[in-house]
Amino acid sequence: MTAVAEKSRAIVLRSVPFGETSAVVTLHCRDLGKVRALAKGAWRPKSSFDGGLDLLSTSQVLVLRRTAGGLDLLTEACLENRFRVGASLPALVGGMHVAELLDGLTGESDPQPELFDAAHATLRQLSGTDASDSRVAAIVVAAELAILRLTGHAPALARCAACSAAVPETGRVAFGMLDGGVLCGRCRAGRRAVIAVSQALLHALRRLSATSPPFAAESLDPPVGGEARAVMNAYLAHLLERPLVTSPWLPHQAVRRRRAGP
């Protein structure tokens, strides 16, 4: 079986035990895309990987790509940036959420350098931070919107997702989970999985979607942050056809979501 050795910068998304000392790791590589590889001896006391496979860390890796199928083989992982757990538990959960999104929204061996750069910048921003929960909430939502845009799943926030017509600038607006964003009154009729969102939320999402990581020093007020969290959790669950494991633990304040119309 032939193999090709390739180097790349990589974010460690997941590590699963394989045997007594090895692991199957999932990496998001800047030059290779998502890679699943066997790291032999990764958990030995004197492993040559030396922290390079810590969750959410960024490392320079050397991967032997198998050309005839099967797992790739990870032979080197030189730690570049370790994700530091600081005083903010929401920041740690936010970092894990970014990793779960990268794993769920990307296919294997599909390099997306801009997506890697956005995720890497977000993780560096969350690493070791002591920012307030409302600040972390804004960073996480901005990161979600950036990742959705770069993977082709950005929700429509300014014009109707179905017909591109303008949506009301006052009152609550219909947001279709299955349609991919806001809906005008005409297109709302008869559609399923639709909720009503506030103008305050739409303004916040539009503002956050226009930024790039590292994100500006902005916070989400608890009511808007809670609504944003509820809407993003629902939208991502519809998109991935499952709820994300990290969603219940992200910073939020419980809000009551309203159904749009009958």
Q: What is the pLDDT along the chain (262 residues), one digit of tens a residue?
A: 567 899 999 999 999 999 989 999 999 999 999 999 999 998 887 777 888 999 999 999 999 998 777 799 999 999 999 999 988 999 999 999 999 999 999 999 999 999 999 999 999 999 999 999 999 999 999 999 999 999 999 999 999 999 999 999 999 999 999 999 999 999 999 999 999 999 999 999 999 999 988 887 789 988 999 999 999 999 999 999 999 999 989 876 444 444 555 4
| CA 117/CA 241 separation, integer angstroms | 26
| CA 242/CA 82 separation, integer angstroms | 29
- DSSP structure string for 104-142: HH--BT---HHHHHHHHHHHHHHTT----HHHHHHHHHH
Q: Is 164 left (phi over 0), alpha (psi -120 to 50) or beta?
A: left
Q: Which of 62, 81, 100 is the last residue of a domain?
A: 81
| CA 113/CA 97 separation, integer angstroms | 19
Pair 191, 243 in one domain: yes
Q: Which of 81, 116, 131 is the last residue of a domain?
A: 81
Pair 112, 241 in one domain: yes
In the chain, how many domains are there? 2
Pair 109, 136 in one domain: yes
Pairing outcome for strands 72-81 and 33-39: parallel
Hey, how many other C-beta atoms are within 10 angstroms of the C-beta on 29? Answer: 23
Q: Which residues of 200-238 are buried (b: 16+ CB within 10 A; e: fewer)?
A: ebbebbeebbebebebeebbbebebbbbbbbbbbbbbeb
pTM for this entry:
0.92
Q: Which of 81, 103, 128 is the last residue of a domain?
A: 81
The whole-number pLDDT of residue 258 equals 46
Q: What share of the chain is helix, strand, coil (3-state, %, to 5)?
A: 35, 25, 40
Pair 96, 207 in one domain: yes
Pair 72, 116 in one domain: no
